[in-house]
Amino acid sequence: MVSGLFVSFEGIDRAGKTTQAGLLADALGDLAVRVREPGGTPVGERIRALLKDPSTDLGDRAEALLFATARAEVVDRVIAPALADGRVVVCDRFLDSSLAYQGAGRGLGVEAVGAVGRFATAGLEPDLTFLLALPPNAAAGRSGVSDRFEDEGVALQRRVLEAYERLAAAEPARWRRVDAERTAEVVHAEVMSIVEEAIASASAKAPA
Ligand code: TYD
């Protein structure tokens, strides 16, 4: 592969993104570069801690800009170089998270958050985005430590999921909707076959 492949995982909290990103990266071995958002760089990890801390008191626009700042760093320092190196970047959330959580969930507007987001990413988009689809009630029943977003309850998660469904429907070539109510192994098998197909078609298109 000459230009690499950029894969992202999206979904509401506890849909299983982190598990699936880990299983995919492990299966791909040295070909994969795994990134989490927010985070993935020294400054990004500090922004992540701030954003997830339930004691952080932050306005909605400032919150959106912090996510964008962390994203600009990880694009420039990790994702773009890895893609240039022909690697498969496996990203646990990307700009679609901001469109869904800040744009729709917080009500800032998908358009406005998208404009800031495109500046932050310099226009870089995933080649393939998995929507791990799980009803908010099922997610709430899964174990885990809750953060500032989950503390706000099921109404926010519902708005976020609806936004994801709209984004996926608007761009079917990039999105793959996967039923995340099944076991991690079954979801991984479906993800893996889609990624293998994408790698094969990217290699076929690359100049010899
Ligand atoms: P996440 O990494 O999914 O948390 P965890 O590791 O606990 O699964 O993301 C942290 C929270 O940040 C999550 O509730 C979603 C939220 N978020 C946004 O609101 N906007 C964004 O752009 C991103 C990347 C995450």
Give 147's pLDDT tier (boundaries 50, 70, 90): confident
Give 144's pLDDT tier (boundaries 50, 70, 90): confident
CATH (domain of 78): 3.40.50.300
pLDDT tens readout for residues 80-89: 999 999 999 9
Across the range 90-116, mean pLDDT stands at: 97
| Total domains, the chain | 1
Output the pLDDT for position 145. 76
Q: Whose CA is nearest to atom 23 of ligand 1?
A: 97
Residue 96 · residue 8 · CB < 8 Å: yes
- ∠ CA 99-104-105, nearest 5°, is 105
- Helices marked H in 29-132 — which ranges? 42-52, 60-74, 80-84, 95-98, 110-121
| Mutation test residue for ligand 1: of 97, 98, 113, 150, the one with most atoms within 8 Å of CB | 97
Domain that holds residue 152: 5-205
- Residue 95 CA: which ligand 1 atom is closest? 22
Residue 13 has pLDDT above 60, yes or no: yes
pLDDT tens readout for residues 24-77: 999 999 999 999 999 999 999 999 999 999 899 999 999 999 999 999 999 999
Burial environment of residue 6 by CB neighbours within 10 A (0 to 12, 13 to 18, 19 or more): buried
Q: Is the CB of 18 under 6 A from ligand 1?
A: yes
Centroid of ligand 1 to alpha carbon of 202 (angstroms): 29
Tell me the CB-side half-sphere exposure of residue 1, using CA atoms within 13 A: 21
The model's pTM is 0.94
End-to-end Cα, the chain, rounded Å? 10
